[in-house]
Amino acid sequence: MNIMDHSFLLICLLVIVFLAIKYYSPKIKGYIGENKASKALKRLNTEKYTVLNNIELKIKGSSSQIDHIIVSNYGIFVIETKNYKGWILGYEKDKSWIQAIYQYRRKFYNPILQNQGHIYALKHVLKNYQYLRYYSIITFTKRATLKTKTYTDVVYINKLVKTIKKYDHDHINEYTKQEIVAKILAAKINRRNKDKALRANSNTNKNISCPNCGGHLMERRGQYGVFLGCINFPRCKYTRNKK
């Protein structure tokens, strides 16, 4: 292989590295931010909060990728995670916000408006539950310095759980909460194996009662196939094989 061949291969390699940095680095940073938020949300009480990560919905031909949805006794929390560094400047209704790092300035779509689109998609899936309360939260990693003025909660990830817990008016019962989780998982595009344990058939068998708590049993799908589980899970963990 001559010098020209080596030079050509080196140029090709540099182009590949450049394209990888340009197109995949934002995705990697986004994944890191979502992962940090997921770890923080694990501190929530699983009896009151069901956390769904990376849910993609397709509504009227448009896809909506939602970082985190929390179905709780207190309402539905829809969380958009950002892993930007530098100063973050913006107001509630601005179309774009600004990321500032020294002299560098970059505009990005207002995440509050972005999250409103996510909530719209979620409301479409849950249109039979008109009374639900939706809470929009935008969370940033500590790489950012927030200089925002908003009514919507825009917080650092280390304040995320505390922000969620300030909404404490109980208005969703366990039966409805499990139904909502089932409908979201049934509507999602990006079905993964890790969600199978959470997936539930929305058709509850009201003729079969749980011997432990008296709640209805509903179909669920787990590692070993379909089974019947109590609607009051995780408070009641009764299960049995489906005949």
Indicate the Cα dihedral angle 120, 126, 131, 132, nearest 10°.
-70
Output the furthest CA–CA distance in the chain (Å, rounded). Answer: 79
| For residue 111, cis peptide bond before it (omega within 30 degrees of 0) | no
Other C-beta atoms lying within 10 Å of the C-beta of residue 151: 10
Structure tokens at 226: 């379909």
Question: What DSSP state is assigned to residue 172?
Answer: -
Other C-beta atoms lying within 10 Å of the C-beta of residue 97: 24
Q: In this predicted model, what pLDDT tens digit does every residue of 46-68 receive, in sequence order?
A: 899 999 999 999 887 788 899 99
pTM: 0.69
Please give the average pLDDT of every successive group of 10 residues along the chain, which has 243 residues. 61 58 49 75 92 88 89 96 94 96 92 95 92 95 94 96 94 90 85 47 55 69 66 68 66
Distances (CA, A) of 114 to 137, 181, 184, 203, 235: 11, 22, 19, 32, 34
Question: What DSSP state is assigned to residue 215?
Answer: P
Angle at 49 between CA 164 and CA 111, to 5 degrees: 45
pLDDT of residue 168: 92
> What is the arrangement of strands in the sheet containing 75-82, beginning at the earlier edge strand?
49-59, 62-72, 75-82, 134-140, 153-156
pLDDT of residue 205: 54
For residue 179, which phi and psi values (nearest 5 degrees)?
A: -60, -45
Indicate the Cα dihedral angle 169, 172, 174, 175, nearest 10°.
170
pLDDT of residue 156: 96
Collapsing DSSP to helix, strand or coil, 175 comes out as helix
Collapsing DSSP to helix, strand or coil, 161 comes out as helix
Q: In this predicted model, what pLDDT tens digit does every residue of 100-121 receive, in sequence order?
A: 998 899 999 999 999 999 999 9
Rounded to whole angstroms, the Cα distance separating 84 from 69 reads 21
Q: How far is CA 46 from the centre of its chain?
A: 16
pLDDT of residue 229: 76
